[in-house]
Structure 1
Amino acid sequence: MTTYILLINWTDQGIRNVRDSAKRLDAAKKLLTSVGGSINQFYLTMGGHDMVAVCEAPDDAVMAHFTLSLAMGGNVRTETLKAFPEAAYRDLIGSLG
């Protein structure tokens, strides 16, 4: 499984309906699980992004499908970061000439 970091911001619509946000998170978890992935960690954050999620998915296409589905709801905008675990980081750095 590949790890992804989602940086999430509410849209105007999403913040107007913020009381429903926890239900939308539950639905997002269910959606990602249904396509073979998972939301492993979720944080409400202060600063440049409203929320951060650490997710896993089988591949980039699954994550793209998931984030596009979220965007279609109109409540959030996401920025997706593909994350490399420490072991992969060490291998990459070690392979440099």
Structure 2
Amino acid sequence: MATFISLVNFTDQGIRAVKDSPDRFQAFKALGQTLGIEVKAVYWTVGSYDLVLIVEGDEEAAISLLLKVGSLGNTRSQTLRGFSEQEMRKIIGNMP
């Protein structure tokens, strides 16, 4: 399973309905479950980003989920592929 860390900002539309943000997250989580994606963590933050999401699952399913959510217009995200220590050791071990 792949890990993805998304740094999320509200759009103008999303911030106008910020009170709905926890409900939107629950809908995101439910949709993710239908795709086999596990939401490991969510944090509402202050600073450069409004939310941080950590999800795990099949790469194509995770990207589909994030694209679907982005298409709703409430958020914009920057997503990073995360690697555990064990995954990184394997990657480094494959270096010539």
Report deviation, 1:95.
4.1
Q: CA deviation at 1:91?
A: 2.6
Report the 3-state secondary structure (helix = DSSP H, G, I; strand = E; otherwise coil) of the residue aligned with 1:74: coil
* Structure 2 residues without counterparts, runs of 5 or longer: none
Q: Secondary structure at the match of 1:48?
A: coil
In structure 2, what is the equivalent of residue 73 of structure 1?
A: 72
TM-score by length of 1: 0.90
- Structure 1 residue runs without a partner (length 5+): none
Question: Structure 2-normalised TM-score?
Answer: 0.91
1:10-25 correspondence to structure 2 within 5 Å:
10-25=10-25
Match of 2:28 in 1: 28
- State the number of aligned residues: 96
Letter in 2 for 1:82: R
Encode CA deviations 1:35-82: one digit per residue, 9 max, x unaligned.
Answer: 0111110111122111101101212x1112101110111100111111
Identity %: 38
Shift of 1:94: 4.0
Q: Calculate the aligned-residue CA RMSD, in Å.
A: 1.3
Aligned-partner Cα distance in 1 for 2:73–2:25: 14
